[in-house]
Amino acid sequence: MQRSIIDWLLNSTKERPDAVAVSDPDKEYTYTELLNYSKNVAAKLLPYVKPCHAVAFYMEKSADGLCGMMGTAMIRGFYSFIDVRAPQARIDKMLEILEPDVIITDENFKDKAEVYSDKFKVVTIEELLTFKESESSDIENNAGKNNEVLFDATDVGFEVKERMLEALDTDPLYVNFTSGSTGVPKGVMVNHRSVIDFIDCFTDIFGINSDDTMGNQAPFDFDVSVKDIYSCLKVGARLQIIPRAYFSAPTTLMDYLVDNKVTVLVWAVSAMCFVSIMNGLGYKVPENIRMIMFSGEVMPSKHLNTWQKYIPDAEYINLYGPTEITCNCTYYRLPKGKILGDSETLPAGKAFPNEKVFLLDDEDNLVDETSVGTMGEICVGGTCVAVGYYKNPEKTAESFVQNPLNTAYPERIYRTGDIGKYDENGDLIYVSRKDFQIKHLGQRIELGEIENAATSIDGVTRACCLYDFKKKKLILCVTGSLDGREITSALREIVPQFMVPNKVVVLEEMPLNKNGKIDRTVLNSQYTAQ
C-alpha cells in the first residue's frame, strides 16, 4: 500500500537510476542523485521539523528546491513555497499562518529570508545539500554498482527511516496559498492520499511515461506544478524546469523547449496566450511536443487556434479545477483536427475517475445533465477534496461542506463558487465565477460571456469585464490593436444591447496575479468606484 509520494521516488530510482529526474538551466540530477540529495536534506532537517509541521521555501523553483521538497516529505513535514515577489505584508501573513519549523532559502534570497531569523530557523538549500567528505565518497562508490543501496530506505539513517515508517497517506504534503476575500491569504492543505489518487489517474489517462520530458511552467506555489512534479516521479520521466523569466522572452523560451526536447506541456492559459501574442511559435516550433494541457482560465479560441496551426499533431486538453480539489476535477480532449470558432467555448469536459462533479441550483437542487443550458454551482466530492484551509476553520466550514443531496451519512464536498452548465453531449461548460454574475438593467449577466465575446473580435487579445456596482456600469478592459469605439461597435453585433459595456479601457498589457491569471483586484481598484 502506498502511503507517501516518496514511494514514487524510491521506485523510479530503482527502475531508472541513471535517468535524468530534474533539470533547470543550472543543474541536472539523475534519479539516484535526487534521492541521495533528498535523503541528505531529510537527515539535516530531522532534528528541527516535527511530523506534520511546515517547512517554508523562500526561493524560486529549481532542481535544488525539489530536493528540499522531497527531503521534507521524507520526514513527514509538509512544504509551502512562498512567492518571493509577493508584497512583504502578504509574505509576513503567510509565515504567520504557517509558523514553519524551518525556512529554506538559497544564496540568492538569503538576505531577505534572514529578516525572519529571529522567529524561525533559516537555512540555505546549499547547506542542506552539502555532503561530508565521507558521505560524498560513499555515494560515488555506490553509484551504478549497487543500486539496491541507493534506493533502499535502510540507508537513510535510523531516525529518518523511523519517521518514514510512521507515514500516513493522510499526512499533509503541501500548502498552497490563494487570495482571501478579506485580504487574508488562505492556505489550501493537500495530503499525500489526494495527490496519489489524482496522479495515478492523470498519468494513466494521458499516457505520460518514462520517455516524456515535462516542461514545467508553473511556480512551485501553484498547484499546476503538482502535475508536472509528481507525474514525473511516478513514471520516471524528466522534469524540465522553465525559469519564470523565460515567459517574458519568447525566443529564449522557444529555444529552451526545442533544445531540451520537451514532449508535454501542462501550462496556465496565460502562458500559452503569451506565446501566441508574442508570435513565439513563428520564431521556432518545438516539434517534440506531443501533448498540450492548459487550465486556470477560459482558453480564448483564437490563441488555441494559433497553437494548433503550428503544432497540429499534438493532443490538446482543457483541464478544470480549483486548488481546493487537488489540481483538476474535469478534462476535455479536443478532437484531432477540430478548430474552434472565435466565439466558441471549449468544454471543461467530464470528471476524472474517482471524482464526483455535479451542479447545484440556488435552492441546492441537483441540475441534471439532461437539463442542457441550466446553470448551477459546480461542486466536487471524492478523495481529491483538500484537507481544508490551514488554521482557518471558519473559511473551511464555508466551502468544505456536507453534500446537501445526502442526508444519510457524512459526505464532504467542496463548493467551488464557479457557475457551470451542461451541453448537448453532457460535457460540463464553465461559465463564470459565482461572484462574476451580476444584475444590470434588470438582466442577469455573466461577465465571462462578455469577455468571451470580446476575445472573439479580431484585434482583441485578452479581455476582462468588471462591474461598477455604485455607478451601475459595465467596464471592459482589453489588450490588442483596436480602440474602444471599434470594440464597442463590434460587440453590438455579437451580444444583446444590455451586455454592451458602458466603457472600454484599452491597456498595453493585462495585470497578472502570481498564478498568471488576470488580476481583477488590480483592475477593480483602478477602474471601479471603491
- Asked if residues 419 and 432 have their Cβ atoms less than 8 Å apart, the reply is yes
In angstroms, the first-to-last Cα distance of the chain is 54
Strand 350-351 to 330-333 pairing:
antiparallel
Residue whose grid cell is 536534506: 41
Start-end of H helices in 99-183: 110-113, 125-129, 133-142, 147-151, 158-165
Residue 151: the pLDDT is 36
3-class SS of residue 225: helix
Q: What are the tens digits of pLDDT across the range 36-56?
A: 999 999 999 999 999 999 999
CATH 2.30.38.10 residue spans of the chain: 354-432
At 180, the pLDDT band (50, 70, 90 cuts) reads low
CATH 3.40.50.980 residue spans of the chain: 6-189
At 86, the pLDDT band (50, 70, 90 cuts) reads confident
As a whole number, mean pLDDT of residues 520-528 equals 91
SS3 content of the chain, % helix, strand, coil (to 5): 35, 25, 40
CA distance 365 to 377: 10
Q: What are the tens digits of pLDDT across the range 485-497?
A: 999 999 998 888 8
Residue 57: the pLDDT is 98
DSSP annotation of 181 reads: T
Instruction: For the chain, give the mean pLDDT.
Output: 91
Neighbours of 248 (CB within 10 A): 11
Class of domain 6-189 as given by CATH: alpha beta
Q: What are the tens digits of pLDDT across the range 415-462?
A: 999 999 999 999 999 988 887 878 788 777 888 889 988 998 999 999
Residue type, 280: G
Q: Is the predicted pLDDT of residue 349 greater than 50, yes or no?
A: yes
- Asked if residues 5 and 191 have their Cβ atoms less than 8 Å apart, the reply is no
CATH 3.30.300.30 residue spans of the chain: 441-527
- Asked if residues 173 and 327 have their Cβ atoms less than 8 Å apart, the reply is no
Among 252, 400, 393, smallest CA distance to 324 is for 400
Residue 482: the pLDDT is 95
- Asked if residues 472 and 444 have their Cβ atoms less than 8 Å apart, the reply is no
At 181, the pLDDT band (50, 70, 90 cuts) reads low
Residue 142: the pLDDT is 44
DSSP annotation of 518 reads: B
The answer to which of 143-152, 378-387, 462-471, 502-511 has the lowest mean pLDDT is 143-152
Residue 440: the pLDDT is 84
As a whole number, mean pLDDT of residues 201-205 equals 98
Start-end of H helices in 400-514: 447-455, 484-492
Among 386, 397, 379, smallest CA distance to 176 is for 386
Q: Does domain 354-432 have CATH number 2.30.38.10?
A: yes
CA distances (Å), origin 370, targets 91, 374, 422, 504: 46, 9, 8, 38
Q: What are the tens digits of pLDDT across the range 298-313?
A: 899 999 999 999 999 9
Q: Is the predicted pLDDT of residue 380 greater than 60, yes or no?
A: yes
Pick the CATH number of 441-527 from 3.40.50.720, 3.30.300.30, 3.10.20.90, 3.40.30.10: 3.30.300.30
Q: What are the tens digits of pLDDT across the range 123-159?
A: 999 999 997 644 544 444 444 333 333 334 446 677 8
Q: Is the predicted pLDDT of residue 297 greater than 80, yes or no?
A: yes
3-class SS of residue 434: helix
CA distance 261 to 214: 9
